[in-house]
A and B are shown apart, each in its own frame.
Chain A
Amino acid sequence: MDKMPAWADIVLIPLISLLLAALISALVILAIGEDPLAALKLMVDGALGSTYGWGYTLYYATNFIFTGLAVSVAYHAQLFNIGGEGQATLGGLGVALMCLFIPWPHWTLAVLGAGLAAAAFGALWAAIPAYLQAKRGSHIVITTIMFNFIAGALLNYLLVNILKPMGSMDPATARFPEATNLPTLHEILAPIGINFSKAAPANVAFLIGLVACVAVWLLIWRTKLGYEIRAYGKSESAAVYAGISPVKIIMIAMLISGGLAGMMAVNNVMGEAERLVLNSTEGAGFIGIAVALMGRNHPFGVLLAAILFGFLYQGGAELALWTKIPRELIVVIQALVILFTGALDNMVRLPLERLFLALRRRQEG
């Protein structure tokens, strides 16, 4: 018998963890000499008070949907993919190569080509650590960390030495051609009479992110492969007994995970920057860990958590603009969320389980 009802596990524990993180952040804000409630109001106004704010919130959320899904797919197979950052960097390279060197007639075709390239490059970058884990037993966490750094250096080399246009000092590619520019939410929503902010970077990639959520849900809970991934994640020996090949599951789960992380580039590289710059991912790969933990590795949870972190990012930018609170406050909040939902999970869970047991005993007795 379960110690506590499912809703408590899915909703209550993340909420309490979030509250704890918010409480500590409020103390930090107080220590800086600002009013936490005023700061929260500023964040809500700045991130959700206008379509401009929403445009940024959803833009960030799109990045986090992809990296969050990436972490959670791997997590279902008990693999901790900490390499989203590197995989998304490589995804950016795939997008840039596609957009720069193929003359696309229309963005719909371009997004298809670039999206596939992004996924392929991201998956490729995950494939090597996956192979080493599956065949040689090297720990995937360590290898994916190493591959983050290798990806950064590879991109640095390519941008500085090869992809940079002649005569440019800036280590970045040329602008992508006009035909590859993705429509923003302003352009998508205008025909149905919604006047969405023109300046905000949210674009069609958000819709692709929603599709990805549904696809991951179908994969994990409605296909044989998803069943095998979950079975392997729950118990390797049971999975092997059931005829599931660990090598196959590790490889497939990591390829999907890397592909999802890589597809983030459709949003930030193709949709927003419209060229490839150094450090284009800006830590989104790591935020994916927080998003997946918070979202309990379920695509719908990941979507909600991604929007929450999108709100935090846009709100944090507003705070940095109008108060003495630096943007790094968001990094602290993010770290606290990871700490409470991921590492200190038992600290929140054990007292709650005791509480529910006591309540049940009272009902029965």
Chain B
Amino acid sequence: MDYMTLLQVLDSTVRLATPLLLACLAGLYSERAGVVDIGLEGKMLIAALFSGAIAYVTGSVWLGVLAAVVSSTLLSLVHGLASITFRGNQLISGVAITMFAQGITVLIAQDWFQQGGRTPSLFGGARFTPITLPFAETLQPVPILGPLYYELISGHSALVYIGFLCVPATWWLLYRTRFGLRLRAVGENPAAVDTAGVSVVRLRYAAIVICGVLCGLAGAYLATGLQAGFTKDMTAGRGYIALAALIFAKWRPWYALYATLLFGLLQAVALRYQNINIGGVVIPVQVMDVLPYILTVVILAGFVGKAIPPRAGGQPYVKER
């Protein structure tokens, strides 16, 4: 494998990792606040539909992103209603939300565009265009680093850079602000937060809204950045891979970046090489597809470093009377 091929694989790693990263950070906010979210997939899906549909109708990709964020946040609030206000089962709510999105996206797309549950192809201003970073072309002839900068770091769409910037932002918010401290506390010991006079319900809703916004960006990137338009079930399990990455990262922002990059690399390699032949042993493409899930099970089993979730995760908070 020569240097250019390597750069291309890494370049598509970055592209494929972006939706995973955004969804993974979305889940991180929610779960750190004690609300387990297995509905990431559904929120991404509905965001993908609305970003594709609104971007197509208005011709503006940013209006598409706005629609994605709004739709995903609304769905997130349903999850909040079920799991915070009515203290229902958060897992069941997540399943229902994903299933709802899988159905309603096709209904809406079919009703609006009559193309078998997809939006028409996006072009021009309805799609994200690659951003060429300053000096990328001037520096391209520089050996090694030039192509690295030109191919790998420059030339992605805005959401990719936003996604990567979310990592330090999340770290700062969680570990360096009062809000972050309270958010983490509410996921570990809500009663203590309540005793300190801070509203558990409000904090958890705040986390849920951030989760919805980030899932919205993840879905919008799928339909307007990675591909040109919404197609049926286009998330293809990415929400669950993001969930796996979250566990893999042990609910920490920087590790979330590494985990999603690893899983993005697996997807990029699977996409490019199908079956890989290493010294006569053929690794089938299916192995690459499921490696994120297998790795997560291994991590969960605690054979290689134990993943311990936030302590109050999944339990509704009942105020003492």
Residue numbers of A with Cβ under 8 A of B are 28, 31-33, 80, 82, 128, 132, 136-139, 141-143, 145-147, 149-150, 153-154, 156-157, 161, 286, 289, 293, 324-326, 328-336, 338-339, 342-347, 350
Which of B38, B294, B301 has most chain A Cβ within 10 Å?
B301
In Å, the complex CA distance between A147 and B87 comes to 28
Given contact pairs A138-B300, A326-B117, A28 touches B92 in the complex (Cβ within 8 A):
no
**Chain A residues within an 8 Å CB radius of B87:** 346
Given contact pairs A136-B301, A145-B240, A343 touches B102 in the complex (Cβ within 8 A):
no
In Å, the complex CA distance between A136 and B286 comes to 27
Find out whether the CB atom of A142 lies under 8 angstroms from the CB atom of B81: no
Find out whether the CB atom of B86 lies under 8 angstroms from the CB atom of A132: no
A-contacting residues, B138-181, CB 8 Å: none
In Å, the complex CA distance between A141 and B296 comes to 13
In Å, the complex CA distance between A344 and B88 comes to 6
Question: CB within 8 A of B96: which of A146, A156, A339?
Answer: A339
Chain A proximity mask over B69-94: 1 for CB below 8 Å, otherwise 0: 00000000010011100111111110
**Chain B residues within an 8 Å CB radius of A136:** 300-302
Find out whether the CB atom of A344 lies under 8 angstroms from the CB atom of B99: no
**Chain A residues within an 8 Å CB radius of B284:** 157, 161
In Å, the complex CA distance between A207 and B311 comes to 45
In Å, the complex CA distance between A137 and B93 comes to 23
Given contact pairs A157-B284, A329-B103, A329-B107, A138 touches B301 in the complex (Cβ within 8 A):
yes
**Chain B residues within an 8 Å CB radius of A80:** 89, 91-92
**Chain B residues within an 8 Å CB radius of A333:** 103
A-contacting residues, B93-139, CB 8 Å: 93, 95-100, 102-104, 106-107, 110-111, 117
Find out whether the CB atom of B96 lies under 8 angstroms from the CB atom of A336: yes
Find out whether the CB atom of A342 lies under 8 angstroms from the CB atom of B99: no
In Å, the complex CA distance between A33 and B111 comes to 9
- Chain A CB within 8 A of B243 CB: yes
Question: CB within 8 A of A344: which of B38, B82, B294?
Answer: B82
Majority SS at the chain A contact face: helix
**Chain A residues within an 8 Å CB radius of B100:** 331-332, 335-336, 339
In Å, the complex CA distance between A345 and B86 comes to 8
A155: nearest chain-B partner, CB-CB: B286
Given contact pairs A82-B95, A139-B300, A328 touches B103 in the complex (Cβ within 8 A):
yes
**Chain A residues within an 8 Å CB radius of B38:** 141-142, 145
In Å, the complex CA distance between A275 and B93 comes to 35
Given contact pairs A153-B286, A153-B290, A330-B103, A338 touches B88 in the complex (Cβ within 8 A):
no
Majority SS at the chain B contact face: helix
Find out whether the CB atom of A156 lies under 8 angstroms from the CB atom of B286: yes
- Chain A CB within 8 A of B305 CB: no
Find out whether the CB atom of B81 lies under 8 angstroms from the CB atom of A344: yes
Find out whether the CB atom of A289 lies under 8 angstroms from the CB atom of B95: yes
Question: CB within 8 A of B244: which of A32, A146, A156?
Answer: A146
Find out whether the CB atom of B240 lies under 8 angstroms from the CB atom of A332: no
In Å, the complex CA distance between A346 and B91 comes to 15
**Chain B residues within an 8 Å CB radius of A286:** 95, 99
In Å, the complex CA distance between A339 and B287 comes to 34
Question: CB within 8 A of A137: which of B78, B81, B83, B302?
Answer: B302
In Å, the complex CA distance between A142 and B300 comes to 9
In whole Å, how far is B46's beta carbon from the nearest beta carbon of chain A? 12
In whole Å, how far is B267's beta carbon from the nearest beta carbon of chain A? 13
In whole Å, how far is B118's beta carbon from the nearest beta carbon of chain A? 12
Find out whether the CB atom of B93 lies under 8 angstroms from the CB atom of A343: yes
Find out whether the CB atom of A332 lies under 8 angstroms from the CB atom of B107: yes
Find out whether the CB atom of B309 lies under 8 angstroms from the CB atom of A139: yes
**Chain A residues within an 8 Å CB radius of B107:** 28, 32, 325-326, 328-329, 332
In whole Å, how far is A317's beta carbon from the nearest beta carbon of chain B? 14
Find out whether the CB atom of B93 lies under 8 angstroms from the CB atom of A342: yes
Find out whether the CB atom of A149 lies under 8 angstroms from the CB atom of B92: no
Given contact pairs A142-B296, A342-B92, A153 touches B81 in the complex (Cβ within 8 A):
no
**Chain B residues within an 8 Å CB radius of A336:** 96, 100
**Chain B residues within an 8 Å CB radius of A329:** 103, 107
**Chain B residues within an 8 Å CB radius of A147:** 293, 297
In whole Å, how far is A278's beta carbon from the nearest beta carbon of chain B? 12
Question: CB within 8 A of A149: which of B86, B96, B293?
Answer: B293
Find out whether the CB atom of A331 lies under 8 angstroms from the CB atom of B99: yes
Find out whether the CB atom of B103 lies under 8 angstroms from the CB atom of A31: no
